[in-house]
Amino acid sequence: MVSFRGDAHKFYLKLKKEAAKGLNSEKLREIQELKEIKNFYETIDTSTLENIHH
């Protein structure tokens, strides 16, 4: 069966695989990048974020 799952599912599988190995998921490059993006968006004021959304 062919599966056309998206990037989020692929990332979930990677996290699951790393957890099975006993590795800390906080050290994954993708998690660090997500934290950086979140921190960036938290610095932007609400009105600018509303304009980005629209």
**Domain segments of the chain as ranges:** 24-54
pTM, rounded to two decimals:
0.62
Q: Which residues of the chain have pLDDT under 50?
A: 1
CB 18 within 8 A of CB 28: yes
Cα→Cα distances 50→31, 38, 45, 46, Å: 25, 16, 9, 6
User: Token pair of 41, please?
Assistant: 């968006």
pLDDT at residue 3 in the model: 63
For residues 52 and 46, give the distance between their C-alpha atoms in angstroms, rounded to a whole number. 10
Maximum CA extent, the chain? 46
pLDDT at residue 53 in the model: 78
User: Token pair of 45, please?
Assistant: 């004021």
